Amino acid sequence: MNALKTLTDAINTIPDMPQRVSMGFLSADESLSIYPTKNGSVVDEDFAGNQETRLYYEVAIRTKDQRLGNTIMWLVSDFVKHLKELPSDDFHFEKIETTSEPSITQADSRGFFVYTIDIAMNVTANKYEE
């Protein structure tokens, strides 16, 4: 199951998105990334092996342009709040939500600012199917 890639691809379809998001941690320079933050947890499972799993991700941007950081984080937040389906052959999308509002979390001596937003997504997949 590649829920991270599917979500990344969906975020990259946001209209007027000034920058593309990539999978993985932030680089030392300008970057926009999405990565898992906590272990997923099984929410429910039936006898056939269908598991609903809650997955946690963080979207972060490192930028010197505070307006850009704020704009991108709110674009992602609004997109996630309105996302009703996420087509995939690997899993069934259940729901997605932001678990934090966009916020500035870091400023460094080189003039970079880091903005983040936390996301939780529930998907169902069969643990016996690969």
22-23 vs 31-45, strand pairing mode: parallel
DSSP 88: -
Output the pTM of the full model.
0.92
Neighbours of 16 (CB within 10 A): 6
- Spatial distance between the Cα atoms of 88 and 92, rounded to a whole number of angstroms: 7
The pLDDT value recorded for residue 130 is 67
State how far the alpha carbon of 108 is from the alpha carbons of 2, 18, 62, 64, 130, in Å.
Answer: 33, 23, 10, 10, 43
The pLDDT value recorded for residue 61 is 98
The answer to whether 119 touches 98, Cβ cutoff 8 Å, is yes
* Mean pLDDT by groups of 10 residues along the chain of 130 residues: 92 95 94 91 90 96 96 97 94 96 94 97 89
The pLDDT value recorded for residue 99 is 95
The pLDDT value recorded for residue 39 is 76
